[in-house]
Amino acid sequence: MLKDITLGQYYQTDSILHRSDPRVKLTGTLIYIVVLFVAQNIWGYALAAVFLAVMIALSKVPVKFMLKGMRSIAFLITLTVVFNLFMTPGEVIWSFYKLKITAEGLKMAARMAIRLIFLIMGSNIMTLTTTPGELTDGLESLLSPFKVFHAPVHEIAMMMSIALRFIPILMEETDKIMKAQMARGASFDEGNIIERAKSLVPLLVPLFVSAFRRASDLALAMEARCYRGGDKRTRMKPLRYKVSDYVAYGVLIMLLAASIALRICL
């Protein structure tokens, strides 16, 4: 149950996107999100769709694999669509009791659904083609200007990468504790919501205790290996832009310009 979360997973293969600099991919995702919200008409969405399709093709990640990740957010999309469909005021085209569907609502719902799906697929491409390590390195480097304001950029990046490293370990541990409690008669999937929430207490307490113990062990191990914060640290894999990364930046700027132009001119 806990193991089939594909959202935010790395898919190992060799493609242009896999090889490109994580900073480009992070900024690219950001620009893509902006493009999605700039788009107002069909041409704006068409541009976003074409860009997304090209990226999927370049990433060499099977489309099937990507769609599997979408399943977990299907509920969210349905909810958004339903709300927009029935809650938007305007010209009524169909009504049943108090439920009314308006032309504006229909348009809005379609727009929101497309935006959400594109947005999630777009950021999915980034996480599928970037290892968590690269991702945190990229974030650290992109956020490094904030160090001027004494923002703990290195620490945040280190925390992220450690959290990512320990997610599978803690998942496994949860599974183990669950089975241990079940063997002693606990049940986690019976009763109403309150009863279920209560049944999680004997699961969460040992999990937290063990997480704290692990954290203290890890801190000790890091200190024993001379970890003393980000200053004076060198990099085993320093980030370096290649020519292709500059080209990618150029493409991204053109994408942004095109989407703004489409909104203004059409």
Partner 1 sequence: MSLIKTEELVHDYIRRDEEGNEDGRIRAVDGVSLNVNRGEFIAILGSNGSGKSTLAKHLNAILFPTEGSVWVDGKNTMDPDEIWDIRETAGMVFQNPDNQIIAQVVEEDVGFGPENMGIPTKEIWERVEESLKAVGMWEYRKASPGRLSGGQKQRVSIAGVIAMHPKCIILDEPTAMLDPSGRREVIRAARALNDVEKVTIILITHYMDEVIYADRVFVMDKGRVALKGTPVEVFKHVEELKALHLDVPQVTLLAYELRKRGLDIPDGILHMEELIEVLEKICR
Instruction: Tell me the C-alpha distance between 225 and 96, whole Å.
Output: 68
Of the ranges 19-27, 110-118, 125-133, 247-255, which one interacts with partner 1 (CB under 8 A)? 125-133
CB distance 235 to 140 below 8 Å: no
222 binds partner 1 (CB under 8 A): yes
Instruction: Tell me the C-alpha distance between 91 and 104, whole Å.
Output: 7
Among 190, 237, 264, 265, binds partner 1 (CB under 8 A): 237
**What x/- string results for residues 165 through 204 when contact with partner 1 is judged by CB under 8 A?**
x--xx-----------------------------------
206 binds partner 1 (CB under 8 A): no
What angle, 0 to 180 degrees and rounded to 10, lies between the N-to-C axes of helices 42-59 and 243-265? 160
Please report the beta strands in 17-127, taking only residues with DSSP state E, as ranges in sequence order: 92-96, 99-102
**What x/- string results for residues 240 through 259 when contact with partner 1 is judged by CB under 8 A?**
--------------------
Partners of 94 in beta bridges:
101
Q: How far is the CB of 203 from partner 1 (least distance, A)?
A: 20
Among 227, 253, 254, 257, binds partner 1 (CB under 8 A): 227
Which residue type sits at 25? K
CB distance 188 to 178 below 8 Å: yes
107 binds partner 1 (CB under 8 A): no
How do 92-96 and 99-102 pair as beta strands?
antiparallel
Residues at the interface with partner 1 (CB under 8 A): 131-133, 161-162, 164-165, 168-169, 214, 217-218, 220-228, 232-238
